[in-house]
Amino acid sequence: MIKVGIVGGTGYTGVELLRLLAQHPEAHLEAITSRKEAGMAVSDMFPNLRGRVNLKFQDPAEAPLHRCDVVFFATPNGVAMQQAKALVDAGVKVIDLAADFRIKDIPLWEKWYGMTHACPELVAEAVYALPEINRSEIKGARVIANPGCYPTAVQLGFMPLIEAGAIELQGLVADCKSGVSGAGRKAEVATLFSEASDNFKAYGVAGHRHLPEIVQGLSRRAGASVGLTFVPHLTPLIRGIHATLYARLTKEVDLQALYEQHYASEYFVDVLPAGGHPETRSVRSANFCRIAVHRPQGGDTVVILSVIDNLVKGAAGQAVQNMNILFGLPEATGLQQIPILP
Ligand SMILES: NC(=O)C1=CN([C@@H]2O[C@H](COP(=O)(O)OP(=O)(O)OC[C@H]3O[C@@H](n4cnc5c(N)ncnc54)[C@H](OP(=O)(O)O)[C@@H]3O)[C@@H](O)[C@H]2O)C=CC1
Ligand SMILES: CC(=O)N[C@@H](CCC(=O)OP(=O)(O)O)C(=O)O
């Protein structure tokens, strides 16, 4: 059994990790932390876990994280970078759901995240882990940078066209919508029911911190710099990301065949039949990305629709998928839940 610790167990990605790992046949939950709720039984806070998780939250300073085989950080940006080195030195694998190890260019990371990086040496060796793109690099990693939610939906959507060299790299557009759980569980005015329900708005148009992450991933794959306009929106959903992606074709390709072939052996990526419109509820609570590709009126603009659950393929599910790769397990172990509909 893989001994697992979770730092930040009271947040939305933390409780998703608990839900998935409690059902995982090869994982044993060893420790789960919260500073504010130390001493409280996990099932007192999360009634869905009654009878399945019998741990109490522990303060991070007291939790036996060094005894684990792997520790997930489901914490705000800037936490994992302070604790990862000691764990790695003790032989513990680290999977960070936040952004501390995602951007290789440290000054760029510091600009977007507004803090000084505490552990640049681990950034260099960390693997940005989007399994459908680089699973061979993930296998031997000590530190996993789990991709962000928007970056997962956007990169999976654009990747077949990027790898086929079939689009103009400078004019990419990602028009994305997220459910409110994307903002986390902390109290904030913007995510109050009376602010976020029955409402729809863009945010971060001038610049969102996922922009450099997406550009880094697409450019690396393209072997050339990519120009992207990324606009996130907040929708009155609890879960889900819907990315509508636009690109200009530079050569004739059978788009449907390209996408189907590219993802033919990917368990977690489902290419819909031609003309499909993926729905966020079709991936709710599951680790799938569903994609459809369109060419409206036969023009040279291609429109890709990509949906994920931000808390699962966009965070905790992808983190468990990465754990499976790290420990040599079949990737879908513990991740075969059918989405909840309606
Ligand atoms: N929500 C989403 O859809 C996605 C989130 N992410 C990323 O995952 C991370 C977690 O997100 P989310 O679950 O939404 O966040 P939440 O705000 O819901 O939860 C944060 C958790 O971290 C703990 N925490 C906060 N500060 C510290 C600290 N200094 N040391 C130790 N623990 C701390 C909190 O508990 P306590 O304060 O009691 O210790 C809490 O359990 C974030 O970095 C986020 O950007 C990534 C992809 C998608
Ligand atoms: C709706 C909403 O607020 N979404 C968050 C993104 C989710 C997140 O925190 O993910 P990362 O760890 O990848 O940054 C945001 O726009 O900041």
Predicted confidence band of residue 342 (pLDDT cuts 50, 70, 90): confident
Is the CB–ligand 2 distance for residue 232 below 6 Å? yes
Ligand 2 atom nearest 99 alpha carbon: 12
CATH number of the domain residue 262 falls in: 3.30.360.10
Do residues 173 and 298 share a domain? yes
Predicted confidence (pLDDT) per residue in 252-293, tens digit: 999 999 999 999 999 999 999 999 999 999 999 999 999 999
Q: Fill in the amino acid letter for 197.
A: S
Is the CB–ligand 2 distance for residue 98 below 6 Å? yes
Q: Does the residue 90 lie in any domain? A: yes
Q: Which ligand is nearest to the CA of 96?
A: 1
Q: Does the residue 234 lie in any domain? A: yes
Q: Is 176 a catalytic residue?
A: no
Predicted confidence (pLDDT) per residue in 195-225, tens digit: 999 999 999 999 999 999 999 999 999 999 9
Do residues 89 and 176 share a domain? no
* Residue 44 lies in domain: 2-125
- Supply 210's token pair: 């996922």
Do residues 50 and 165 share a domain? no
Integer Cα distance of 175 and 161 in angstroms? 17
Asked if residue 118 lies in contact with residue 81, where contact means CB atoms within 8 angstroms, the answer is: yes
Q: Is the pTM of this model over 0.95?
A: yes
Calculate mean pLDDT across residues 96-120: 98
Residue 315 Cα distances to 14, 130, 158, 318, 322, angstroms: 10, 11, 19, 6, 11
Give Cβ neighbours of residue 64 (< 8 Å, ≥ 6 apart): 5, 30, 31
b/e map of 323-333 (b: 16 or more CB within 10 Å)?
Answer: bbbbeebebeb
Is the CB–ligand 1 distance for residue 18 below 6 Å? no
pLDDT (0 to 100) of residue 287: 98
- Which one of the listed residues 68, 119, 149, 176 is annotated catalytic? 149
Residue 13 burial (C-beta neighbours within 10 Å; 0-12, 13-18, 19+): buried
Our CA dihedral for 118, 121, 123, 125, rounded to 10 degrees, sits at -160
Do residues 77 and 121 share a domain? yes
pLDDT (0 to 100) of residue 178: 98
Q: Does the residue 170 lie in any domain? A: yes
Integer Cα distance of 246 and 27 in angstroms? 40
Do residues 291 and 220 share a domain? yes
Distance of CA 267 to the CA centre of its chain: 16
Provide the percentage of residues in the chain whose pLDDT is more than 70. Answer: 100
pLDDT (0 to 100) of residue 308: 98
Give the chain's domain count.
Answer: 2
Predicted confidence (pLDDT) per residue in 176-187, tens digit: 999 999 999 999
Q: Is the pLDDT of residue 236 over 90?
A: yes
Integer Cα distance of 262 and 211 in angstroms? 24
Ligand 2 atom nearest 234 alpha carbon: 1
Q: Is the pLDDT of residue 4 over 90?
A: yes
Of 75, 109, 209, 287, the residue with max ligand 1 atoms within 8 A of its CB, to mutate for a pocket test, comes to 75
Secondary structure of the chain as H, E, C letters: CEEEEEECCCCHHHHHHHHHHHCCCCEEEEEEECCCCCCCEHHHHCHHHCCCCCCECECCCCCCHHHCCEEEECCCCCCHHHHHHHHHHCCCEEEECCCCCCCCCHHHHHHHHCCCCCCHHHHHHCEECCHHHHHHHHCCCCEEECCCHHHHHHHHHHHHHHHCCCECCCCEEEEEEECHHHHCCCCCHHHCHHHHCCCCEECCCCCCCHHHHHHHHHHHHHCCCCCEEEEEEECCCCCCEEEEEEEEECCCCCHHHHHHHHCCCCCCEEECCCCCCCCHHHCCCCCCEEEEEECHHHCCEEEEEEEECCCHHHHHHHHHHHHHHHCCCCCCCCCCCCCCCC
Domain end call among 91, 125, 159: 125
Integer Cα distance of 125 and 155 in angstroms? 22
ipTM exceeding 0.90, yes/no: yes
Is the CB–ligand 2 distance for residue 153 below 6 Å? no
| Residue whose C-alpha is closest to residue 88's, from 334, 318, 326 | 326
Do residues 11 and 49 share a domain? yes
Q: Does the residue 52 lie in any domain? A: yes
**Conformation bin of residue 108: beta by default, left when phi > 0, alpha when psi is -120 to 50:** alpha
Domain end call among 62, 91, 125: 125
Q: Does the residue 318 lie in any domain? A: no
Distance of CA 191 to the CA centre of its chain: 20
Ligand 1 centre from 9 Cα, in Å? Answer: 8
pLDDT (0 to 100) of residue 156: 98
Q: Does the residue 216 lie in any domain? A: yes
Asked if residue 294 lies in contact with residue 270, where contact means CB atoms within 8 angstroms, the answer is: no
Do residues 185 and 284 share a domain? yes
Asked if residue 202 lies in contact with residue 231, where contact means CB atoms within 8 angstroms, the answer is: yes
**Conformation bin of residue 55: beta by default, left when phi > 0, alpha when psi is -120 to 50:** beta
| Average pLDDT of the chain to the nearest whole number | 97
Do residues 175 and 116 share a domain? no
Q: Does the residue 330 lie in any domain? A: no
Q: Does the residue 61 lie in any domain? A: yes
Is the CB–ligand 2 distance for residue 231 below 6 Å? no
Predicted confidence (pLDDT) per residue in 56-94, tens digit: 999 999 999 999 999 999 999 999 999 999 999 999 999
Do residues 232 and 101 share a domain? no
Q: Is the pLDDT of residue 341 over 90?
A: no
Do residues 115 and 165 share a domain? no
Integer Cα distance of 25 and 202 in angstroms? 41
Predicted confidence (pLDDT) per residue in 142-165, tens digit: 999 999 999 999 999 999 999 999
Do residues 254 and 221 share a domain? yes
pLDDT (0 to 100) of residue 21: 98
